[in-house]
Structure 1
Amino acid sequence: MNRDRNILFWLIGFAKPYIFWLIIAFSSMILVAYFELLIPYKIKEVIDGILTGEMTRELIKLSAYSILSFIATIFIFSSLFSYILNISGQKIMFSIRESLFRHIVKLPQSYFDSNDVGRITTRVTNDINALNEFYTNVLVQLVKDFLVVIGVIFLIISFNSLLGLIILGINIVVIILALLYKERLRRVYSNLRRTISQLNSFINESIRSISLLKMYNKEQLNYRRFLCYSENNYQANLDQMYTFAMFRPFIEFTTVFTAGVIIWVGSHQVIQKSMSIGELLAVLFYLRMMFKPILDLADKYNILQSALAASENLFSIINTSSEKNGKKLFNKNFKSIVFKDIWFSYANDNWILKNFNLEIMNGDSFVLIGSTGSGKTTILNLILGFYKPQKGEILIDGTPLDSYDMESIRSNFSVIMQDTPLFNNVPNEDDFHNIDVIRSIGEKQIQNIKTMMDRTFQVIVLDEATSNLDLDLEKDVKNYLEKIENKTSIVIAHRLNLIKDNDIIILLQNGEIIEKGTHSDLIQEKGSYFDIFRLNQNFFKN
């Protein structure tokens, strides 16, 4: 219950900048509700006046004009609040999407490891669109419907207290059943949103990896997996349909049943002169007016549950803590970066780094080598603050990494990954990467390397950056690295082509440093590095 209240307050918070326009819409709704209630009352006066002979032709004409003016007023103010709500709703959705995406880009890397792209995409697009109906058709419209129902009950009781109590009792039963029905609807809509995100995620991954699927003849296997996800979504939609299909017929049956009761009891009241025929007809008009919002409530409840399921998904993202960020700025003239007794694992106790210790001095040139999974890229991820070690600490000039503003650190690092994606769709056409020109992975990587090396940096990191380049281009990168002065460089590689004479080579195995030194020193030791170098040399000779 507290969670629902928190979600509701969070959603309403986005409406605060538009409170003035929402008040105008709310005021328009009150006027619409007032004139809707006035029409049956005016009709009642005309009918009773005709039956008693008090209503002249002129008075009937004036009453008809009055009713037409009420209808015109309802049309004008209904159009006004509908326009205001739709405009405000779009602006609110824009604010929510902007706020959500701003928060997403600040989330820790571990969040993206456990949540696939399709699911996050669904949150930012489909779930936010589901909230639009909540703002435009539910939030303020429910208030208007509530006012109409309260007004109807009050007027019916003023005509005949017995009929008013009968209608009130039936409404209480309907409300109780609707509340019992709520939890079932919530589960159905949550499951529906989940299957949609799973289907979106699968389609996203399939299209992104279409070349691999074709290469290994996995199209049929992938299609069968698609059918499984599609079937789950289909069943979730059927559950929604079946669940919702029971509620609306129940309300319609209740409307007809109540009308029958009112006619039966009201007829006796008319015969006994306890109420007039005009009042009985007005009660039947009001009964329709009262059950119409309740019938519409079934549709609005549909929208509300969809919005609540979507808002729960969005709220869970907002409730996820952002990256912890200190205030200390990174000093370009730093002295050292120290890994002190670092233990790190991505999941459970599967340690990637074990009691890892390393000191990187400003201006040093490091090469990290080792088998896949030995912890090379993990070291980079820890320096850039993408992950936090479970044990130990990382110090920059004696100050813990957590104390630093990570943006100031990352802005001083020029990092070139093995496969850095180029953003083809950007608002500024001057920054557009023409995919018709940049065709191969190698061409993209050249563009990445050129871009990152042109920027101002204090530390340059190459994480398997030349794996997609031929040997001539790799040699150009090595020549560039040799020209860098007074900068710190960290090269992560399987191939040894980028190693320079003065590089400090770190050989990693199972998250631990097994050898450390320059190329010449390690060759003389004839240890594991010597074996790797000889194997690499023989490979290129052959």
Structure 2
Amino acid sequence: MNKDKAKKVFDFSLLKRVFSFAAPYRRYFYLSMFLTVALALISPVRPWLIQQTVDKYITNQWAQMLMIITMVQIGILLVETAVRFFFSYITNWLGQSVIKDLRVAVYKKVVKLNLGFFDRTPIGTLTTRTINDIEAINDIFSEGIISIVADVLMILAILGVMFAEDWRLTLVSLSPFPVLILATYWFKEAVNKSFHRVRNAVAALNAFVQEHITGMTVVQAFSAENREFGKFRTINKDHRKANIDAIFAYSVFFPVVEIILAISLGLMVWWGANMVLNYEVTQGVMIAFIMYLNMLFRPLRILADKFNTLQMGMVASERVFNVLDSEEFMPDNGTHSTKDMKGDIRFDRVWFAYKDDRYVLKDISFHAKPGQTIALVGHTGSGKTTIISILNRLYEIQKGTISIDGVKLEDYKLSELRSRIGVVLQDVFLFSGSIYENITLRNPNITREQVEGAAKLIGMHEFILRLPGGYDYPVMERGSTLSLGQRQLISFIRALLYDPAVLILDEATSSVDTESEQLIQHAIDKLIAGRTAIVIAHRLSTISKADLIIVLDKGEVREAGTHEELLKLEGYYHKLYMMQFQASANTA
């Protein structure tokens, strides 16, 4: 860990920001601090009472007072146990409450980030930030700063009583402490470095496992299991090595602490015995000092560990706040309503780049009148999907303007704009849940009657009813229990229910069989009726009836016109059409 990183770990402004999330629970925070002080004051009482018992009541054989003092000690023990219980419960409750609010804040921020952020950030890394790192922040409250303050106060209280009883005996008992300080520093540094490596390894493991489970079809299809397993073993080995290094530090540190405690006790007994023989201290003081030393070393054993826990919580909080502070979100300052949107779309000299000035769209201009169907064609990478992404404001353009009904996209309320643009993608994503939930996206305003009506219009109602449970049929993750065509048709029902003014179809029939294509084509005809539609298709036969066909190549408009007009030009579109026609003839 470099020096800059170390400074950030001890950034008190960062700690202050973490504790700002505890502001709604300040009453419980103050209560935990009160209990911290109470524990520090209670801790030295029992050894002191035992000292009094030995020196006064046993020596003078006051049996009645022995009974009273014993009952008092039991009472103090019960009080101390109760205080410790409430202290532990409240600090953990406080930590869990804070991370609940923090996780909500992070997730709320994540869903508003633009797609550029997700293009660069592995999903597994975001999962680590939202779950593992936020969980580590809980330790700042349950095992970190509050617990450290409690231990430090208890150590100071015990040391104060020890010095008050006999400063010479205290100094002799604490003479091995410089060795303990050096051992604690070594332990803190060793474990801290190991924990950083563990955190990084966990993030790498999460990202790797999530990515490869999602892409398991590709891994198995190309017999890449052994190669990918080798990569996994390497990452897992790094995780194991980091943990073992931390275990080694623990295995060395705790026996060293026990040895130092034994030396302290030995020195104290040797020195104290001579003082007892010389009547300089009493036997009760000796017994109390043995208890004081044990109570002193108990928090010292784990203080360095708690400090590391605090450090790791701070590192985790820095990562979480980096997500919260991200400015990669789509500005939503628009005020214009989409209630009466007609779907008059105009691109005026639009330039767009995903990164820097590497433009993937260059000077794009076209006009789609309300109710028209616009088709985008071109080779892979020509910019077709990018056009529909910026129309939906998933990305922000660098130059030019895009307007609907004469209003710039950025002047519309973002949520309203997207609700009026229906999107049916080639790779339909279905969530775990029922077909009904996937169609409505859990929108309580959509009734089952509306869902069934839309399904009948699309031609899916009878198929859904044949499934076990009908509309309540459980769809597995990503819709793996349904065919591609069936998933596509469910997405059509979803789009139809939201009654969009603009409909976007991205390669809707590119990967389905002929029978499914006919059904989907029927659904498309129902969907685009009376709506402005932008259709992307590799099969040029499916867009021959489009009002306007725009031919793209390397992010530029090469040709534009109707199917017949473009064929007459015998240009780029004619070449694409003839290539597909010949391919179809050869296949036949």
The one-letter code sitting in structure 2 at the alignment partner of 1:419 is: D
Residue 456 of structure 1 deviates from its aligned partner by: 1.4
Given the alignment of the two structures, is residue 222 of structure 1 paired with residue 228 of structure 2, yes or no?
yes
CA distance in 1, matches of 2:473, 2:175: 66
Question: In the alignment, which residue of structure 2 is the partner of 1:440?
Answer: 483
The alpha-carbon distance between structure 1 residues 59 and 441, as it changes in their structure 2 partners (threshold 3 A), is: same
CA distance in 2, matches of 1:294, 1:432: 58
CA distance in 1, matches of 2:292, 2:207: 49
The alpha-carbon distance between structure 1 residues 166 and 504, as it changes in their structure 2 partners (threshold 3 A), is: farther
Higher mean C-alpha deviation, range 304-313 or range 148-157 = 304-313
Given the alignment of the two structures, is residue 197 of structure 1 paired with residue 241 of structure 2, yes or no?
no
CA distance in 1, matches of 2:482, 2:529: 33
Native 8 Å contact 1:422 1:433 kept in 2: no
Spell out the pairing of 1:2-401 with structure 2 (5 A cutoff): 4-49=11-56, 53-54=59-60, 56-164=62-170, 178=184, 182=188, 184-270=190-276, 273-321=279-327, 322-331=329-338, 332-333=340-341, 336-347=344-355, 349-396=357-404, 400-401=408-409
Native 8 Å contact 1:248 1:298 kept in 2: no
SS of equivalent residue, structure 1 residue 515: strand
Question: In the alignment, which residue of structure 1 is the partner of 2:547?
Answer: 503
The one-letter code sitting in structure 1 at the alignment partner of 2:288 is: A
State which of 501, 509, 530 in structure 2 corresponds to 1:458. 501
Question: In the alignment, which residue of structure 1 is the partner of 2:583?
Answer: 539
Native 8 Å contact 1:423 1:432 kept in 2: no
SS of equivalent residue, structure 2 residue 422: strand
CA distance in 2, matches of 1:167, 1:399: 81
The alpha-carbon distance between structure 1 residues 407 and 171, as it changes in their structure 2 partners (threshold 3 A), is: farther
Residue 488 of structure 1 deviates from its aligned partner by: 1.5
Question: Structure 1, unaligned stretches of length 5 or more?
Answer: none
CA distance in 2, matches of 1:175, 1:498: 77
- TM-score normalised per structure 2: 0.82
Residue 306 of structure 1 deviates from its aligned partner by: 3.9
Residue 213 of structure 1 deviates from its aligned partner by: 2.3
Question: In the alignment, which residue of structure 1 is the partner of 2:452?
Answer: none
CA distance in 1, matches of 2:401, 2:192: 45
The alpha-carbon distance between structure 1 residues 342 and 38, as it changes in their structure 2 partners (threshold 3 A), is: same
Spell out the pairing of 1:419-430 with structure 2 (5 A cutoff): 419-425=427-433
State which of 505, 517, 529 in structure 1 corresponds to 2:561. 517
Question: Structure 2, unaligned stretches of length 5 or more?
Answer: 1-6, 443-468
Residue 347 of structure 1 deviates from its aligned partner by: 3.8
Q: Percent identity?
A: 28
SS of equivalent residue, structure 2 residue 395: coil
Higher mean C-alpha deviation, range 527-536 or range 274-283 = 274-283
The alpha-carbon distance between structure 1 residues 243 and 465, as it changes in their structure 2 partners (threshold 3 A), is: farther
What does the per-residue CA deviation read over 1:426-455, in whole Å, with 9 as the maximum and x for residues that have no partner?
Answer: 797977643499432222122112221232
CA distance in 1, matches of 2:350, 2:270: 83
State which of 485, 499, 512 in structure 2 corresponds to 1:469. 512
Higher mean C-alpha deviation, range 223-232 or range 334-343 = 334-343
CA distance in 2, matches of 1:23, 1:489: 60
What does the per-residue CA deviation read over 1:500-525, in whole Å, with 9 as the maximum and x for residues that have no partner?
Answer: 43521111111111111111211111
The alpha-carbon distance between structure 1 residues 318 and 190, as it changes in their structure 2 partners (threshold 3 A), is: farther
CA distance in 2, matches of 1:199, 1:91: 28
Higher mean C-alpha deviation, range 394-403 or range 97-106 = 394-403
CA distance in 2, matches of 1:211, 1:5: 48
Native 8 Å contact 1:185 1:305 kept in 2: no
CA distance in 1, matches of 2:348, 2:185: 57
Higher mean C-alpha deviation, range 263-272 or range 440-449 = 263-272
Question: In the alignment, which residue of structure 1 is the partner of 2:413?
Answer: 405
